[in-house]
Each structure stands twice: as structure tokens, then as C-alpha cells.
Amino acid sequence: MRPRILVTGASVAGNTAAWWLGQSGFDVTVVERAPAFRDGGQNIDVRGAGREVLRRMGLERAALDRGTGEEGTVWVDAEGRAMASFLTAEGQADGPTAEMEILRGDLARLLYEPAREHATYRFGDHVAAVEQDGEGVSVTFAGGATERYAAVIVAEGVGSTTRQLVFPGENADRWMDLTMAYFTIPRAPDDDRTWRWFHAPGGRSVSLRPDRHGTTRAMLSVQQPPGGEPDWDVDRQKAWLRERFADAGWQSARVLAGMDATDDFYLDVLRQIRMDRWSNGRVVLTGDAAWCATPVAGLGTTLAVTGAYVLAAEMARTADLSAAFAAYDRAMRPMVEDAQGVPKIAPRLMNPHSRTGIRLLHGALAVASRPAVRGLSAKLFGGGAKEPDLSRYDEAARPDPRPDPRPASGAPGALSRPVALGVVALVLGVSALVGRRNAPDPSHPGIRRWYRRLDKPGFTPPDAVFGAVWPVLETGLAVGGYRLLRRPSGAARNTAVGLWLANTAMIGGWTALFFRRKQLGASAAASGAMVASSAAYVATAARVDRPAAATAVPLVAWLGFATLLAERIRRDNPDGGR
């Protein structure tokens, strides 16, 4: 029986955790308060370790394809003139606009679609009570049901109610003195593909960002201490914003008009969540519920994706939950603390209250956008956080206290260890037998005599070198093939496996062409084809499993040398050595 895990919140973090835990053989249920999956939301970005996690999930390309198309960030004055700009076309993809800019709902759905194939989703419900003991967690839902789980992962938002149930009074809010409202408005003809950011006196700002849905994402912000705004009803929140931005200028009138008609209005006062611990017994926090760093840090989504992956990987490495949660804390705490280290004065500096302050801000940003200091600016906006070492999870294994009828990897299309080993042994064994059948050794005197008569260039290695090199290369192919066969099925993984099989077969076939059939021209052409196919194998495998790709790099290098050698032999032996 597989361990049952409850994830609360079908968020970016929740869906990421559900996907990885499901792949690792856990029985996962995700409960979400909303009555259905929530699309929509504003622009977010994923950088660094977060992109690596998406790459390991096979979703990086899809996330880029579903991006907003934002081409940079421009600070404008009341006339719409650019005061400072950071454009991705100028090689500034690590500035305010990242290469991977995507709407929150689009990314969440991209994660949700594959996750629900391996997890059960329960919408329109939430956790009402939690009781745990040494054997598990009893969860009572608002709908009335009570169920038992091995562990509970809280992946809710900054105001998580489940966190408050399990960690009462432990959260130390750090208010960032910035109130922000997000909503979608109709696209105007003069809207371009940049994030346009306008500042007005009084700590006010208006920004417009593009999306790929034919609309524009608007944001209004006011720099001030919190005054209970999130607790107001929507009508009062909108009335307050209309009053504050009535004389702001630029496109404020358009944005306020769009706010009245929008159906996705959301307002919040930014606060960081700071917890001394992220786990209590069998309950663990991740994402904003654990460490909300706020949009000011610019790393919220990256932290959510990375943290959920690290948590799931640690749980897959050991059946000891306390050890897994402790390792997760050690791995993520430096990155979280680094992201939360934004000084409280930062929102004030970035949202000046006077016209003089706005001019100074624009001047500083203009300097920061210059090529000479662009690298420093990228570090400012891109984070440079102390990311965990994800390579330690390359061989993450799920806990296996009891047998699981699914493959040991728990992933669709991934072969179990014995089957993967069997396939590798069969494929390389056949290739080795074919190569042995055509080898120029004493057991094949005719082939040996022919090979020795060939006019070979001076850089031809001695036979002993060939004998030493091939076992090393075949070992690399064996390791790479095994790792790929153990990966979840997917377009990139399946292509990489196909190329692995093709290259292995081509190696055996080349020996038949060169030694047995003595077709020097065909074998030289085949060598060149093998260089291309092996390079394609490395490139494709790198998208799925970097260590697997690395094991084949020596093969590509050797095949490149072998191609030069084969072509020289063909040229120097026009009669085929006969």
C-alpha cells in the first residue's frame, strides 16, 4: 500500500509537489477551497533553479511557449516617454523582465494537467481540523469527511488557514508597507509588448503588462503602512483606489475605468511569512504558506517550484518523514532567507512620494540600464539567491516500506530497475556480440590480415588503445541508457532513448561495414552520421537527465576522431585494401 499524502492548495507549489510525489509512487490527494481549478492571475516569472525543475518535468519549453511575450520593462513619465528601459532584445533577460514570463494561471494549469494524472483532486473543500499521532494524520474536511494520511503538505497562500491550525501563533508577519491591486483590462491599440511602469507623487504607481490573451494586466500600488484594506469588501476597495488615483495622470483614468468592469480584481497588502520551522510532526509547509517573500523579492514563483520539488525529492529519498523535512529545511532555508532579505525601505525607494524622488528614481534606473552596469542590474532584479544543489536529487528514490504494484520509479513509462538493467544488458550485449563477430582478432584471421594490410595514417592508435577505449565508452552508454529508461515517459525522454538505441545499433553495424564487408566509403559516411546522431543524443538527453548526457560526451569526441581516421583510411586505400 502506497503512503497517502494530502496536499492542501492547487497552487503552483501544490501542483508541483503533487506531480513529483505522484511520479515517486505516493498516493496523492489535493484539496482546493475553490469550486474549480482557478485560471487567471497576473504576470509571474521563473528563474534559475525553478527553470531547472520545470526542465526536469519536461515543461520548460511549454512554459516558454505559453509566456506573455513581454519584451522588457520601461519606466515612463506622465506623457508616456521612456525614462529608463531594460529590454530583453538587448540581452537583458535577467532584468525586471525574465525570459520566462507567464501568467500565474497559465503556469498553474501547465502543472495541474499532468499532475492530475497521478493525483486525486478535490475541489470546493478545505481542511477544518488536523489531529496527528506517531502513525499518521487524521484530517477533517469542511465537507464533513475525515480521512487518514501519512503526511500533509500545506501549499496554500500567504493567509493559509491550515498553517494557522497546525502552527498557531508561530508566523511572524513582516509587513512591506505596500498595497497592490491586480486586475485585467481591455487591450488598447497603443499597448506594446513591454511592462510600462508609471510613478505618481504620494507613493503611487500604475503599471500595464502584456499577455497572450488579447488583454492587458493592470496593477495599482500605494506605498503606505497597512490599514486593513484586505478586510474591506471589493466595492470599498475599488472606491478607495478611485479616490487615490483620480489625479495620478498617465493612463490612470483608463485603468480605473477598466477596474470597474473587471471580473478578476484582487487587492492585498504585501507581507512576508517568516517561520522558525516549516514542519510540525507529519505536517509540512511549502510555497507562500511557508515563506512568502512577496513580489518585491521577485522570486516567489521560483521559490514555490523549487521548494515543492526539493520537498518531494527528500520525501522520496527516505521513509523517515522527520529526516526528510529536516533535509528540506536545510536545503531551502538559505535561498528563502536570501530572498526575504529585501530591506523594508526598498518599497519606499521604488515608490517615491515626491516629484523630486521620482526624478531621482528615473535617473538611477537610467544609469542601471546602461551596458556597463547591466550585469549588476541583472543581479539586482534576478536575485542571485542561494539556490539548493538540485544535482543531489538526480537519483531520488521513493520510500518503499511496502511493495507497490507500479514500476519502482512510480512514473508512467519509466522502467523498473530490473527491467531497465535487462534492456541495457540485452542491447549492449547484442552490440558487443556483433562487434566481436567482426573484430580483427586472431579468431578472424582473414579480417585480421586485411586490416593489417591497410595503409593507415600515423595517428592511428595501437590496437591496445582501441581495446581500452571501447569498454569505457560502452560503460558510459550503459549508464546513460539505464538512467534514461528509469525516467518518466515523455517526448524528450522517448527521443533520447530512441537515439540511444540507434547509436548502439550503429556502432555494431559500423563494424560490419568496415571489417566484414570492407566498404571503406560507406563506413566513413556512417562514422560521420554517428557523430551527428550521438551529438543529437547528448543534446536530447540533457533535457531529461544531464548525467546521462554527460556519459556520452566522450563517445561524441571519440566518434569525431574515428570519422577523421576512417576518412583518411578510405582516401589512402582506394582499392579497399584488397
336 lies in some domain:
yes
Sheet containing strand 279-280, strands side by side: 119-123, 27-32, 4-8, 151-154, 283-285, 279-280
39 lies in some domain:
yes
- Asked if residue 226 and residue 133 are part of one domain, the reply reads yes
412 lies in some domain:
no
User: Is 572 strand, coil or helix?
Assistant: helix
Residue 354, Cα to own-chain centre: how many angstroms? Answer: 40
147 lies in some domain:
yes
- Asked if residue 163 and residue 105 are part of one domain, the reply reads yes
| Residue type present at position 203 | G
CATH of residue 168: 3.50.50.60
Element (H, E) at 576: none
- Asked if residue 217 and residue 139 are part of one domain, the reply reads yes
- Asked if residue 466 and residue 322 are part of one domain, the reply reads no
Per-residue DSSP letter, 489: P
C-alpha cell at 19: 506531480
- Asked if residue 242 and residue 115 are part of one domain, the reply reads yes
- Asked if residue 237 and residue 126 are part of one domain, the reply reads yes
Beta-sheet strands, E only, within 77-125: 82-87, 101-103, 119-123
411 lies in some domain:
no
- Asked if residue 496 and residue 387 are part of one domain, the reply reads no
Closest residue by Cα to residue 38 from 66, 58, 63, 15: 15
- Asked if residue 470 and residue 327 are part of one domain, the reply reads no
Count of domains for the chain: 2
376 lies in some domain:
yes
Strand partners, 153: 7, 284
| Residue type present at position 133 | D
What pLDDT score was predicted for residue 490?
A: 67
CATH of residue 560: 1.20.1260.100
| Residue type present at position 497 | V
Closest residue by Cα to residue 483 from 354, 393, 394: 394
Closest residue by Cα to residue 139 from 30, 10, 2: 30
Residue 552, Cα to own-chain centre: how many angstroms? Answer: 24
d(CA 428, CA 149): 44
Among candidate residues 393, 409, 437, the one where a domain is terminated: 393
Phi, psi (degrees; rounded to nearest 5) at 31: -110, 135
- Asked if residue 235 and residue 122 are part of one domain, the reply reads yes
- Asked if residue 353 and residue 480 are part of one domain, the reply reads no
**Whole domain around residue 447: which residue ranges?**
417-572
| pLDDT per residue as tens digits for the range 159-175 | 999 999 999 989 888 88
d(CA 132, CA 149): 9
Radius of gyration of the chain (CA): 29
Among candidate residues 358, 393, 428, the one where a domain is terminated: 393
| pLDDT per residue as tens digits for the range 208-225 | 999 888 999 999 999 999
513 lies in some domain:
yes
Strand partners, 566: none
Q: Which residues of the chain have pLDDT under 70?
A: 1, 89-96, 371-385, 395-418, 434-438, 441, 467, 470, 489-491, 576-578
- Asked if residue 427 and residue 330 are part of one domain, the reply reads no
- Asked if residue 196 and residue 228 are part of one domain, the reply reads yes
CA end-to-end distance (rounded Å), the chain: 67
What pLDDT score was predicted for residue 499?
A: 84
d(CA 397, CA 409): 7
410 lies in some domain:
no
